[in-house]
Amino acid sequence: MESRDVQTKFDEKKAVKSRFLDLIIPIAGCISYECFAVNIMNPRRFIEVFGSRTVIAADALWFNAHIGFGIYLYRRNFLQAASTQWKVIYSVFGSAVFNFGSVLLWGTSKALLPTVPEGIKVLFGLGSGLLLMYVGWHWTDFLNKQALQLKEQR
């Protein structure tokens, strides 16, 4: 096998790994996050679907949301200058603040709106989750652009 073929195979594997880390895991985290919103806003529906495994399902979704957002943050350009240790710390912190802040918003909203139909609560959870993810994506995109401008100025 020629060295060019080996390099091509290496580049293909690197592209697949990058796509997995940059796209697939964060999207899975977003889906888990939205499903977890349903669990918070209408736990009875979750019990109907998962039965005795409700806690396991909810914990798996919660964990996957943390992993998805953490890896998303870890892979952003604005963190590339940080050491691996600090990138991990920043990513874990960002993911925890985002996820726990969302649960606080949903739990508080649910408590403040006890007479609102469950379907409306679920729509609120899904809609607010999408809005929060959009703002988070926009924020990280802004930070990436700022980091790129600083890098170009040097």
Digit-coded pLDDT (tens) for 81-123: 899 999 999 999 999 999 999 999 999 999 998 888 999 999 9
Residue 1 to residue 71: CA distance in whole angstroms: 35
pTM for this prediction: 0.85
> Domain segments of the chain: what residues?
3-153
The Cα-based distances of 97 to 1, 19, 40, 92, 135 in angstroms read: 49, 25, 17, 9, 14
pLDDT value for 81: 87
Residue 125 to residue 103: CA distance in whole angstroms: 9
The structure tokens 């091509």 sit at 8
Count of Cβ atoms closer than 10 Å to residue 37 Cβ: 26
Q: What is the DSSP letter of 113?
A: -
> How much is the average pLDDT of 2-7?
62
Q: What is the CA radius of gyration of the chain?
A: 19
The structure tokens 């409306």 sit at 120
pLDDT value for 2: 64
Q: Are 72 and 43 in contact (CB under 8 A)?
A: no
